[in-house]
Structure 1
Amino acid sequence: MTPRLEVITPRTLDAALGIRVRPDQESAVEPVVRSLAEAYVQPAGVAWPRLIVDGDDDRPVGFLMAFLGIDWRGDGSLFRSGLWRLNIAAGEQGRGYGRFAVESVAAELRRRGDEQLHVTWHPGPDGPEEFYLRLGFRKTGETSGGQTVGVLELT
């Protein structure tokens, strides 16, 4: 497995839109089409959408979208960056692509000078909490839109 990230372009758009999580996960993550629509309406440079491709056979296996320097509280007092969306295709889960996605976002944030990577997740038995905690995220004690907020220190 040699995954890589690709920018979403007219050439890769259909592949990105074709990424589907397991049916039992659909309520916990937005579909790629919504993520791309949200990326489009953000100020320039806030959303960082990428297609995750297995480089061995150029197979699309997932989608991620990071957020870069958003005004977390909406009042200019706290800016954060992190992983906004992570969709690993149903048949590709458990193969390390999710870990690769998180590590890729962490590397990009470090390159930009960020010291923390934030993420939110739906709580509950079908949510990704254990995945994020295994990767070193810790709960902040905050919630955002009913979701648990986690942080990974990048220093």
Structure 2
Amino acid sequence: MTELRLEELSASTIVEVNTLTLKPGQEQFIAPVSYSVAAAVSDPSTTWQRVVLDGDHVVAFIQGSFDESAPAEEFRSILWRINVDADRQGAGLGSFAVEALAQEARKRGLDHVNVIYEPGDDGPELFFQHMGFAPVGETPYGEVIARLSLA
């Protein structure tokens, strides 16, 4: 692995992001990347989208949002999605991406980042716990709301 770096999602990286693979069973926990891109187009001022590159290759994608005017508190500073290529999971790429999102939140004067996820055996729960997210609530749909404190 060469030195990892972040870049903003762009026309030159979106094709590679769309080819990131998932491990069997993970597809039920993540919507297509095109949904995230559409969300950014609808409100690019609050959406933070980055790709993780290893050398010249896109190996992960992360999307967050920072919107002080969001109607619900859990949406004001949130990790919306993280995708790490199946063959590269467990190598620290997700941690690298989440730490970059947390750093961006701190830079904006925020003291936490939330995430909402569906619990399940092949889902992201263990990863989020490993990163320090702690459950703080539940959505009306049974999804977990978890918070990463940055203080």
- 1:6 CA displacement: 0.9
Contact 2:13-2:58 within 8 A present in 1 as well = no
SS at 1:11 equivalent: coil
Query: Where does residue 132 of structure 2 map in the other structure?
Result: 136
The answer for unaligned runs of 5 or more in structure 1 is none
- 1:23 CA displacement: 3.3
Query: Where does residue 126 of structure 1 map in the other structure?
Result: 122
One-letter amino acid of the structure 2 residue matched with residue 106 of structure 1: A
Match of 1:106 among 102, 105, 109: 102
Higher strand share: 1
Tell me, yes or no, if structure 1 residue 47 matches structure 2 residue 47: yes
Instruction: Specify whether residues 27 and 78 from structure 1 end up closer, same or farther in structure 2 by C-alpha distance, changes over 3 A only.
Output: closer
Instruction: Specify whether residues 144 and 63 from structure 1 end up closer, same or farther in structure 2 by C-alpha distance, changes over 3 A only.
Output: farther
Q: Report the Cα distance in structure 1 between the residues aligned to 2:19 and 2:122, rounded to whole angstroms.
A: 22
The answer for unaligned runs of 5 or more in structure 2 is none
Could you list the per-position Cα deviations for residues 21-41 of structure 1 after superposition, in whole angstroms to 9, with x for gaps in the alignment?
Answer: 223101101121221112212
Instruction: Specify whether residues 40 and 122 from structure 1 end up closer, same or farther in structure 2 by C-alpha distance, changes over 3 A only.
Output: same
Contact 2:21-2:86 within 8 A present in 1 as well = yes
Could you list the per-position Cα deviations for residues 40-63 of structure 1 after superposition, in whole angstroms to 9, with x for gaps in the alignment?
Answer: 12x231211111111xx2221011
Instruction: Specify whether residues 144 and 48 from structure 1 end up closer, same or farther in structure 2 by C-alpha distance, changes over 3 A only.
Output: farther
Contact 1:20-1:31 within 8 A present in 2 as well = no
**CA-atom RMSD in angstroms:** 1.8
Higher helix share: 2
* TM-score (normalised: structure 1): 0.87
- The percentage of aligned residue pairs carrying the same residue is 38
